[in-house]
Amino acid sequence: MSDDAPALPGSTGSLFARPTSPLRVAGAPRYNACYTDPSEDDGSRLLISDLCCMAEAYMAQDQVSQIYDAYLFGAEAHEGQHRRSGEPYIFHPLAVASILLEMHMDSPTIVAAILHDVIEDTEASKAQIAERFGEQVAEIVDGVSKLSAVNFPSKVEAQAESLRKMLLAMAKDIRVIIIKLADRLHNMRTLGALANEKAHRIARETLEIYAPIANRLGMHVLRLELEDLGFKAMHPNRYAILCRAMRSVRGNREEVLKKIEAAILDALKGYDIPIRVLCREKHLFSIYQKMRKKHLPLRELQDVYAVRLVTDSIDNCYRLLGIAHNLWKPVPGKFKDYIAIPKANGYQSLHTVLVSPHRARVEVQVRTDEMDHVAESGIAAHWLYKTGGSGSGSTHNRAREWLRDLLEVQSNSGSAEFLESVKVDLFPDEVYVFTPNGDIIKLPRGATVVDFAYAVHTDIGNNCVAAWVNHRAAPLSAELRNGDTVAIQSAKGHNPSPSWLNFVTTAKARGAIRHYLKQLKAGEAVNLGRRLLDIALAKYGIELSSLTDVRKAAALTQTPFSNLDELIADIGLGNRPSELVARRIAEASAADMESLKETKEASAHPLSIRGTEGLLVKFAGCCHPLPGDRVIGFMSAGRGLVIHRNDCRNARKSEDPDKWIDVEWAAHPEGEFQVAVRVDVANQRGALASIATAISAADSNIENVQIGERDGQNSRLSFCITARDRAHLANIMRSVRRVRTVLRITRV
């Protein structure tokens, strides 16, 4: 499209002339009418002239001209393309740009918004955008683009990789996610043109990912509309019923809100405090969530009113809070001071819940004008790119901290794990705890001591061994509460335990633990694989350490691996039988066939089991093998080597001989092993305590116990205990037999 090409059909008058009648994008926001259907369309469309008029309100003329130039480039690139609704595709990027202009974003952001789909959906390249609009705009557009050129095995993985790329781009320039959120908002407004299944999937993704990201960045107004639109698409019948219910009671509630506002203003007479009073009902999705959480019908839901008191200073905020508490009784436990301790997204306000004379609970928020601006616009409220800065304010800094944590998680995890971690991190019901120095650490509700340690520093988390909560010793799994003071003791050389994954809640902690375990598992897989391949090669008179290049190459044939260590690790993980690899190595060349014939009948030593091999040597829970038992090994794909007793029924079910490994116990096995015993006892008071004492006296621990009735006079107790070997187990059983109430004890 040339520079003098006509504008899109429907544009009239001068390009930059302010339109005589208000025109809007399809489904333009109606923030002050939450229960009006936001997808209604009167047929009008936003024109480039409207966009330029919006930009002229706060931008220089050369910046407005660049926006128009971006429109020409985008319209030419998208020429011939249409959305599912039938309208020309260029209307969508113009609508996204208008949402950002309402936030007063800078010109590179608006330009990038107009071009945000050209790399993904047209033949235009990043280099072309960089040449015409600058490297900064090109990087933002590239960050917003999806990974459409890459094929992934599942939608979950594709979603995770797209999100990963977006977050990486966000770390360089936070404007990427602001454009992406505006893009998602317009897509949600026009969701009606899509098939139900696709609309449902997009709505779920919006509620699970994009609305929480908007909340994390403090973009309150945008989040509310995303949530309501997502709710409408996910549950259209519930949405419609709730809309009708809210309309039916609106008249009465508006009257109540007016009385509440009048009472507050009357109470403020005589105080020299500048104030704005804003009364509102909570939005639909919030009401729906409260109804589900509290299992209440709408008529019984009380706290659907919210009153916002906006003043000029922090001092006046606390004065207004006192006046409000003096006016009506506050609900105990509902006061929150987010001014002294801001939320993770930078939100600041005083919150309290009062019981009004109308028997309605009223949520009161008290904040300054600046806090109110930040609460509505979040990170966009602090944007300083237009003055050459890089964004400022606590909201921007907190967003950066959050992104740094997420990038650390994504470097240590796979796609699906990363997506799970992001979702967990986006729904924090926060608690605030203190370091011994008085620094505040924000954590999601349910966070434990280990989560706290990783929040302070990854190395402290990896090496933590003990903790004190409020100056008292506490287990690492202890759940933290608001106001706790936590001290961590760490020790070099101490490593994360796999059991920590059972109780940690933060994405950072989970990602760091998984990363360590993956590295540990990889190292153990190589060690175990070497031992297994050495034993298999011994049958052919070959040593692994002396393999020729020809034999190494032969081992790698018909495998996806580029080096022998990767193949050996795959053997250790149980994904590839060592016998088949050994046979391929032995048959590598015709010259080797003679030695193969001579040594094929030679027997190799069984694999020696010490009991401390780590994650990839497991002891079967069905038969609980002990040192001294005759054992056999089974290679399980992805799990490694599972040790069974020779007479185990489960062990003999497999008909694949390549997966069985001859194993034997080392001369001096180490560690303790779990074993199951069954005890029949007479039903007498204190029987269980006496048996537990006998087990403890024999230097054993009880891992688990189950109690079952055998008949009216006797009970059967099933214990899972620890023992070092068969001899130790025999001592334990003798100790238990001495208990007067014990009738019989047997190993299961």
Q: How confident is the model at residue 33 (pLDDT cuts 50, 70, 90)?
A: very low
Instruction: Look at phi and psi of residue 152 and say left if phi exceeds 0, alpha if psi is from -120 to 50, else beta.
Output: beta
- Residue 37 pLDDT > 60: no
Average pLDDT score, the chain: 77
Residues in contact with 421: Cβ distance below 8 Å, sequence separation at least 6, in sequence order: 406, 409, 413, 507, 510, 511
- pLDDT tens figures, 153-182: 556 666 666 666 666 666 667 788 889 899
Q: In what order do the strands lie in the sheet with 464-469?
A: 472-474, 464-469, 486-490
Residue 493 pLDDT: 75
Q: Which of 377, 425, 394, 422 is nearest to 182 (CA)?
A: 377
Of 233-242, 552-561, 586-595, minimum mean pLDDT range: 586-595
User: What is the maximum span of the chain, computed from C-alpha positions, in angstroms?
Assistant: 108
Identify whether 711 is a catalytic site residue.
Answer: no
CA distance 715 to 742: 10
- Residue 28 pLDDT > 60: no
Mean pLDDT of 727-745: 91
Mean pLDDT of 425-442: 73
- Residue 482 pLDDT > 50: yes
Measured from the Cβ of residue 491, the count of other Cβ atoms closer than 10 Å reads 9
Of 187-196, 331-340, 519-528, minimum mean pLDDT range: 519-528
- Residue 598 pLDDT > 60: no
Residue 303 pLDDT: 62
Mean pLDDT of 510-539: 77
Asked if residues 622 and 648 have their Cβ atoms less than 8 Å apart, the reply is yes
* Burial grade of 87 (CB within 10 A; 0-12, 13-18, 19 or more): middle
E strands, 204-341, are 276-281, 305-311, 329-330, 336-337
Residue 397 pLDDT: 61
Q: How confident is the model at residue 702 (pLDDT cuts 50, 70, 90)?
A: confident
Identify whether 40 is a catalytic site residue.
Answer: no
CA distance 716 to 191: 62
* DSSP class of 206: I
Mean pLDDT of 620-646: 82
- Residue 411 pLDDT > 60: no
- Residue 280 pLDDT > 80: no
Residue 23 pLDDT: 31
Choosing from 69, 76, 102, 121, the catalytic residue is 121
Residue 40 pLDDT: 40
Instruction: Look at phi and psi of residue 278 and say left if phi exceeds 0, alpha if psi is from -120 to 50, else beta.
Output: beta
Q: Which of 711, 735, 708, 740 is nearest to 721 (CA)?
A: 735
Asked if residues 669 and 628 have their Cβ atoms less than 8 Å apart, the reply is no
Q: How confident is the model at residue 395 (pLDDT cuts 50, 70, 90)?
A: low
- Residue 410 pLDDT > 50: yes
Q: How confident is the model at residue 582 (pLDDT cuts 50, 70, 90)?
A: confident
CA 659, 660, 664, 665 torsion-angle sign: positive
- Helix or strand holding residue 224 (H, E): helix 220-234
Asked if residues 399 and 174 have their Cβ atoms less than 8 Å apart, the reply is yes
Residue 156 pLDDT: 61
* Burial grade of 653 (CB within 10 A; 0-12, 13-18, 19 or more): exposed
CA distance 281 to 604: 78
Please report the domains of the chain, with CATH numbers, ordered by start residue: 1-145+175-234 (1.10.3210.10), 239-378 (3.30.460.10), 429-505 (3.10.20.30), 515-665 (no CATH), 673-747 (3.30.70.260)
To 5 degrees, how large is the angle CA 418–CA 419–CA 420? 90
Tokens 């990912």 locate to: 209
Residue 600 pLDDT: 41
CA distance 25 to 85: 14
Of 6-15, 218-227, 316-325, 642-651, minimum mean pLDDT range: 6-15
- Residue 590 pLDDT > 70: no
Q: How confident is the model at residue 38 (pLDDT cuts 50, 70, 90)?
A: very low
Copy the structure tokens of residue 412.
């240590």
CA distance 48 to 555: 64
- pLDDT tens figures, 45-77: 667 888 899 899 888 899 999 999 999 999 999
The percent of residues above 90 in pLDDT, for the chain, comes to 15
Tokens 């923030």 locate to: 31
Residue 736 pLDDT: 92
Length of the chain: 748
- Helix or strand holding residue 170 (H, E): helix 155-172
- pLDDT tens figures, 484-500: 889 998 888 788 887 88
* DSSP class of 17: P
Q: Amino acid identity, residue 355?
A: V
Residue 404 pLDDT: 61
Q: Give the pTM.
A: 0.56
- Range 723-728, long-range pairs (CB < 8 A, 24+ positions): 723/626, 723/672, 723/673, 723/675, 724/627, 724/669, 724/671, 724/672, 724/673, 725/626, 725/627, 725/628, 725/669, 725/673, 726/626, 726/627, 726/628, 726/629, 727/628, 728/698, 728/699, 728/700
Copy the structure tokens of residue 259.
């009385």
Q: Which of 208, 209, 212 is nearest to 220 (CA)?
A: 212
Measured from the Cβ of residue 140, the count of other Cβ atoms closer than 10 Å reads 28
- pLDDT tens figures, 83-123: 887 888 999 999 999 999 988 888 999 999 999 999 888 88
Mean pLDDT of 408-430: 57
Mean pLDDT of 428-456: 83
- Residue 252 pLDDT > 60: yes
Residues in contact with 184: Cβ distance below 8 Å, sequence separation at least 6, in sequence order: 206, 210, 226
Q: How confident is the model at residue 34 (pLDDT cuts 50, 70, 90)?
A: very low
337 vs 333, higher pLDDT: 337
Of 263-277, 478-492, 599-613, 694-708, minimum mean pLDDT range: 599-613
Choosing from 56, 76, 120, 680, the catalytic residue is 120
Q: How confident is the model at residue 26 (pLDDT cuts 50, 70, 90)?
A: very low
Asked if residues 280 and 308 have their Cβ atoms less than 8 Å apart, the reply is yes
Residue 405 pLDDT: 62
CA distance 746 to 676: 9
- pLDDT tens figures, 704-725: 888 876 666 888 888 999 998 8
